[in-house]
Structure 1
């Protein structure tokens, strides 16, 4: 069988979680949500709730050995066997890719162009980003095509030759690049400020917004709900120690988030930029900061964008795999055809989303005042992935009989550890997901 090795599974799963969420989203969320208070909540919630959900989806895949829909079907002991309909969440991956690959295309543009012509003022930096997103349609489409084609290529090559081989190269290089940038940041006078911003906890800053933001970041950063973990775990050895695998995914993921945060905020404070710059932190604030470093800034910008690109492509591959696996199992298509057909469809939809960002076309490509790019982002992250994560933890926690579940996990969870995991899965995790879902729905009204 075309299965992952033990290390390959860990690296592939790590690659699925370490994406733009850890390096792009985490720092700007920390910057706008209380700094150290947000970081503390994120770490605690990851270990208390995130790990239990991570293991639940891994258990499903490891036992069922099939695609997401059939995993629910094969493990469903109820009479009606309605759980297989949860398999619709496999559409979440391709939907996310329609806009995620666009953002990754922006990273490529900054890597190959902006890194060598950094903006010198905040106004020019804002203008550069706005021109790319709203005007330079051809450049966006070409960069988007490069990302989608790369994703399709690696997935079409299979679990062993494509996904595992890719992550064997990218994950070590990613850590080398970011550790190197962290070492450089440690030589700057503002390293202490960056460290304090990330790790000094002011409990007065913890409110409902910071709590929900931290809950959402945990969900976003672990690839829960997209079918990736179920699909990847289906290609592992039976009875693998999934707790150990989960720890090898969670701990390095947290480390890369913290490294990225400390490094970025050191640069931000060193050159008197604004830490709460929001999503524009990476594409507006940092290029301006790098410009103030002179030639070193150009080099650092290149390395940073390479690291971001590495993290992104490992995630795009993981988002495409569940749908490809589903098409392989459910149709006469082989992996090669399934990967490229889906990649073509993602490209077509993504081009439409790119046009929806252009002021000339926004009015034709908007629904209720929100352009199609923002709708794709909102629906996939807030609805499909959230419902997928809720379904998986409820199904494993309540839909599989306790004794059967115990037999699935007895080689790595025993006694109290099993009971704690099941309690988290049955009560803490569903409540967490429902809180996130309700908050996002109310926020959008």
Structure 2
């Protein structure tokens, strides 16, 4: 492929997904660390099964309509996450607003690579047995993240693997990568789920996850569920607009949307059936926050037969989930750079990856090694990056998509491939339901409004 073909969005076999390859790549972007790392602890904090049911409702009623809109914009525009809005005939202001959906994945990738590095490091520690030589798992985690430069090395490894995949292109890199890793991910999920639900006392964890207690539901839990539906489906961060540009015109976007949503939901379900039976079996609280994965679960693995093996499999599972998402995150700014500056893919990947790495260094050092980065007002550098990207940029990106598709895009029905009845339902959701709820999520996550 020539540089001009790479950067101007012209149609070639090398820059298009196959039908199955697109769905696997899109599922790969959604089955990241969010559902395995974040979903269990927010489910534990907000009521277990009742929260999971809320998450399902939000995913179907709001997440899927916005997902379809992003895919349709991308396929119709055949541009990057910014230019696609204007290429389909939208006002120029949406092209500028679309830059938020380029900035968001760039920022997320910068700190996401750090967590991916942690998972790689912990997989090595677990398989070698080193992780279980000392029962002070909190101390182990604090020492690793806050007293040395090893996290930066693992951050570099994660970004290097990601960059290597993206350099190889859409069909030769991203699609092939996901065709290998997603089946491997499924196998690991099944193995770990069987191990978890067969542990002594696992039934209590399954009950907590699957038997709803609606008395625990609040307005806040509903907004958190909606916010996580956005995050887990990779909405508002330009990924699905970018991937949509690589989709064949003959592929049904409606079918693809349902497949991606189902993949995300099944992954969340199995994640819950791994985490909750395991922690309940060993008397661990389900509401421990992010520490659950790197501190509480190693304690559980240390107490079970063949724990180092199953712990290693678990962290390999996390690493695979992280890397498939990182590939999607990197492709968004790479496509923008290629198109904006007429740049070849390899050069765009190298420049973008280096900038992500440099931005991520202070985040990696903000867990105690550099006090000035650890406490910057109410948060450390890492937490500020996460807060800005996840709680502000993503809801804004989703809001831009819903307003554009709902009010400004004349050919939305044709691009989405929806018939009259389904189009009216979809349009109603985009015009009157999604914007209101997304604004509430934005106001809530940014701290403007609070609910009891």
TM-score normalised by the chain length of structure 1: 0.94
Deviation of 1:187 (Å):
2.2
User: CA distance change for structure 1 residues 443 and 174 in 2, over 3 Å: closer, same or farther?
Assistant: farther
Aligned pair partner of 2:113 in 81, 101, 119: 101
**Which position in structure 1 is the counterpart of 2:5?**
none
Match for residue 407 of structure 1? 414
Q: Mind listing any 5+ residue stretches in structure 2 that lack a counterpart? A: 1-11
For residues 141-196 of structure 1, what are the alpha-carbon distances to aligned partners after superposition, in whole Å with 9 as ceiling and x for unaligned? 11011001111111111001110000000111101111111122232232321221
Deviation digits for residues 359-386 of structure 1, max 9, x if unmatched? 5x23267543422211111111111121
Which of the numbers 319, 332, 336 marks the counterpart of 1:326? Answer: 336
Match of 1:14 in 2: 27
Question: Contact 2:119/2:315 (CA < 8 Å) preserved in 1?
Answer: yes
The superposition leaves residues 313-334 of structure 1 with CA deviations (integer Å, 9 ceiling, x where unpaired) of 0000100101111111111320
| 8 Å contact from structure 2 (residues 126, 309) kept in 1 | no
Equivalences for residues 399-438 of structure 1 within 5 A:
399-401=408-410, 404-410=411-417, 413-438=418-443
The reply on whether 1:303 has 2:316 as its aligned counterpart is no
> Aligned runs of 1:180-329 on 2, under 5 Å?
180-294=191-305, 296-329=306-339
1:338-349 pair list within 5 angstroms: 338-349=348-359
Aligned positions, number: 435
Most deviating of 334-343 and 193-202: 193-202
Please report how far the alpha carbon of residue 415 of structure 1 lies from its aligned counterpart in structure 2 after TM superposition.
Answer: 2.6
SS of the aligned residue for 1:53 comes to helix
The alignment status of 1:38 with 2:45, answered yes or no, reads no
Other-structure match for 1:368: 377
Q: Is the Cα–Cα contact under 8 Å of residues 383 and 437 in structure 1 kept in the other structure?
A: yes
> Cα deviation per residue 1:196-229 (whole Å; 9 max; x = unaligned)?
1111111100012211211111011000011100
- 1:173 is aligned, of 169, 180, 184, to 184
Structure 1 runs not aligned, ≥5 long: none
Q: How many angstroms apart in 2 are the aligned matches of 1:74 and 1:364? A: 41
| CA 424–170 in structure 1, closer or farther in 2 if over 3 Å, else same | same
Change (3 A) 1:170 1:444: farther
Moved more, 178-187 or 428-437: 178-187
- Structure-2 separation of matches of 1:151 and 1:255: 25
CA displacement, residues 14-44 of structure 1 (integer Å, 9 cap, x when unaligned): 0001100111111111111100111000001
Residues 76, 365 of structure 1: alpha-carbon distance in 2 compared, 3 angstrom cutoff: farther
Partner SS, residue 370 of structure 1: coil
Q: How far 1:278 sits from its partner (Å)?
A: 1.2
**Deviation beyond 3 Å, 4+ runs, structure 1:** 118-122, 364-367
Contact 2:236 2:397 in 1 (8 A): yes
Are the equivalent residues in 2 in contact too, given 1:120–1:292 (CA < 8 A)?
no
CA distance, structure 2, for counterparts of residue 356 and residue 184 of structure 1:
36
How far has the Cα of 1:120 moved from its partner? 7.2
Q: Does 1:385 align with 2:394?
A: yes
Alpha-carbon offset, residue 354 of structure 1: 1.6
Instruction: State the match for 1:131 in structure 2.
Output: 143
3-state SS of paired residue (1:363): helix
Q: 2:407 aligns with which of 382, 398, 420?
A: 398
| Residue equivalent to 2:4 | none
Cα contact 1:152–1:340 (8 A) shared by 2: yes
The one-character-per-residue Cα deviations of 1:91-125 (angstroms, maximum 9, x if unpaired) are 21111111110011111111101442234776x11
Matches within 5 A, 1:34-183: 34-78=47-91, 81-89=92-100, 90-115=102-127, 116-119=129-132, 124-137=136-149, 139-183=150-194
8 Å contact from structure 1 (residues 28, 278) kept in 2: yes
Worse-superposed segment, 256-265 or 281-290 = 256-265
Contact kept, 8 Å, 1:394 with 1:430, in 2: the verdict is yes
TM-score (structure 2 length as normaliser): 0.93
* Alpha-carbon spacing, 1:369–1:210, altered in 2? closer, same or farther (3 Å): closer
For 2:144 and 2:420, how far apart are their aligned partners in 1? Answer: 56
- Aligned-pair CA distance for 1:345: 1.0
Task: Give the Cα–Cα distance (whole angstroms) in 2 for the partners of residues 365 and 409 of structure 1.
Answer: 45
1:27 corresponds to 2:58: no
Query: How far apart, in 1, do the equivalents of 2:216 and 2:273 lie?
Result: 19
Distance 2:448 2:317 in 1: 33
Q: Could you list the per-position Cα deviations for residues 49-105 of structure 1 after superposition, in whole angstroms to 9, with x for gaps in the alignment?
A: 100000000000111111122111112344xx3211022120211111111100111
In 2, distance between residues paired with 1:253 and 1:405? 25
